[in-house]
Amino acid sequence: MSEIRTGHLVLANGDVFEGELFGAAAPGGVVTGEIVFNTVMSGYQEVISDPSYAGQIITFTTAHLGNYGTNGDDDEATTVHCRGVVLREMARRHSNWRSGGSLEDYLVRHGIAAIGGVDTRRLTRVLREGGAMPGAFGDASVEELTAAAKAAVGTDGCDLVSEVTCAESYTVEGNTARHVVAVDCGIKATIVDCLSEIARVTVVPSTTTADEIRALAPDGVFLSNGPGDPAAVTYLPDTIKSLLGEVPIFGICMGHQLLGTAVGGSTHKLPFGHHGGNHPIKEIATGKVEITSQNHNYCVSLDGVEGVEVTHVNLNDDTLAGFRCTDVPAFGIQYHPEAGPGPHDSRYLFERFAELIDAN
């Protein structure tokens, strides 16, 4: 480990936490972003590399991070988009047969700053009571960090999808003759892997028009996860609306929110979001409860919308976790059935998408 570098974390509400700095040096001594907490017990590399964390600082509630190092296979994207990482304790040594290096080296390589030694139980209580909020950390003075935290903005009104989507289309060969066009709002590598089990996958930028998607002759269209406020991604709901009824559609997380918007629903921000690998979801039709991986700050409301049926509900807070259209082949899921990281209870939903494609 490198020599100890002390620093502070300051929330927009003025709360101050002392800590020890890890990873890359904060530009100008200050890192800012919206602070959220994640309850996964493992899978920190997948979480940190998830593009859905663009604009955010991730607090891990688990006590230790870095125990098993990092490797070249578990990245969910080639670029890390989160603003920073907050943790209780960084492992002083890592040990795993798959490990190719330490978490500290991984953070440095990707230019991500982190602060450890933080009382993350206290921090999590603050976020649960006050909601996700902007903050700042680094080796600048507490006064500078306080000013930066108060000036920082959250994700409200921010189109972060445009920052993380691919610059150009690419294709991943699949195991069947089906062809799926995946709209990249910040797509995870594990999602592409799961889709490739059921189809050849053409991943396209989020700005791809409905006509450009039609020209690719897809058997199905997939709408991916992504960061930021779905209400700020104003260009995609019209694209989705144009394709509804022409081709089967499946949306996950941000894709689910955009599909919900396209059918006439609305979105709103949750107090502190759902971030973790242990959220119970009930499938209404069967009564089956799945333990799921989740990462989102916003939720869909379908009140008064016709032609839709709620299929899944979050048992922690009764929020909408899934729906399907009753008059066109389309459905959305708020959580992450690809489970990267997380339990695999919900991976059947990719096969359900394949069945919807075959039936239409």
Establish whether the linkage from the previous residue to 237 is cis, with ω within 30° of 0. Answer: no
Which one from 253, 275, 279, 325 is the annotated catalytic residue? 253
Is 338 marked active-site?
yes
**E runs forming strands in the chain:** 5-11, 16-23, 31-38, 56-60, 64-65, 84-86, 89-90, 113-116, 133-138, 170-172, 179-184, 200-205, 220-223, 249-252, 266-283, 289-301, 308-314, 320-325, 330-333
Which one from 81, 279, 296, 336 is the annotated catalytic residue? 336
Is 279 marked active-site?
no
Pairing of strands 89-90, 64-65: parallel
Tokens of 151: 């000036």
The Cα-based distances of 131 to 9, 159, 165, 257, 306 in angstroms read 17, 20, 27, 20, 32
DSSP assignment of 181-226: EEEESS--HHHHHHHHTTSEEEEEETT--HHHHHHT--SEEEE---
Closest CA to 187 of 177, 174, 201: 201
Is 166 marked active-site?
no
Query: How many other C-beta atoms lie within 10 A of the C-beta of residue 4?
Result: 9
Active site amino acids: 253, 336, 338
